[in-house]
Chains A and B, each alone.
Chain A
Amino acid sequence: DAGVIQSPRHEVTEMGQEVTLRCKPISGHNSLFWYRQTMMRGLELLIYFNNNVPIDDSGMPEDRFSAKMPNASFSTLKIQPSEPRDSAVYFCASSYLAGGNEQYFGPGTRLTVT
């Protein structure tokens, strides 16, 4: 198994531009999580899906952030418009069930907004 796949691995964009991060979970997993990691705040859960349905988006910082999961094998996290404070590493993780079961993390997308 290839594990969780994220793209791009690195993204540099200018303030105000739209950014789209992509994730392909491990085949067969039915929960997907988006995290953000910064030096100051560590790892933070942004949103998670069960069976393609958003369950908890309380961690999404503001309306500029949105996430979709159109099918079991693909999810996107979009930031529009982006701001310099959005610079961070964004991780996607997947598991069989939310919370209690093992989460497998992707390699992350390092986002830099200038």
Chain B
Amino acid sequence: KNQVEQSPQSLIILEGKNCTLQCNYTVSPFSNLRWYKQDTGRGPVSLTIMTFSENTKSNGRYTATLDADTKQSSLHITASQLSDSASYICVVTFKAAGNKLTFGGGTRVLVKP
């Protein structure tokens, strides 16, 4: 069964600090892996998208990495800001699942001043 697991479930960091979120997936091959940011009360917004052959992708202070051998991805947030407080969701598109999206449970990040 295709699964996407994220860790930690939640974390608190101080403004200005860096943090890294983890995403592990089972079953391959996949079409792509995305990281979404979801602010409270709003829909998810895409941060990065990577195909199987890519191992890093940046979007401002957000950098996603992908290791297809270990089936792991990470999202690194540099110099966190209060506006980074949100849930971050790892989403994998598995070819075997008809290219439907499979969502991780998300990591809730709280940035404190």
Contact = CB atoms under 8 A, between A and B. Distances in A.
Interface residues of B, number: 19
B43 A93 contact: yes
B43 A91 contact: yes
B42 A99 contact: no
Interface stretch (B11-19, B63-71, B77-85, B99-107): B99-107
Interface in B20-40: 31-32
Query: Which residue of B32, B44, B46, B106 has the most chain A CB atoms within 10 A of its CB atom?
Result: B44
Closest 10 CB pairs of A and B: A99-B99, A105-B43, A43-B103, A42-B105, A105-B44, A91-B43, A99-B93, A100-B31, A108-B43, A106-B43
Contact of B100 (A42, A91, A99, A105): A99
A18 interface: no
Nearest to B104: A42
B89 interface: yes
Contacts of A93: 43
Contact of A56 (B31, B41, B45, B98): B98
A7 to B, nearest CB: 14
Contacts of B49: 102
B43 A99 contact: no
A98 B99 contact: yes
A60 interface: no
Given A106-B43, A108-B43, 9 more contacts: A4-B43, A42-B89, A42-B104, A43-B44, A98-B100, A99-B93, A99-B98, A99-B99, A105-B45
Contacts of A106: 43
B43 A45 contact: no
Query: Which residue of A45, A98, A99, A100 has the most chain B CB atoms within 10 A of its CB atom?
Result: A99
A54 interface: no
A73 interface: no
Interface string A77-89: 0000000000000
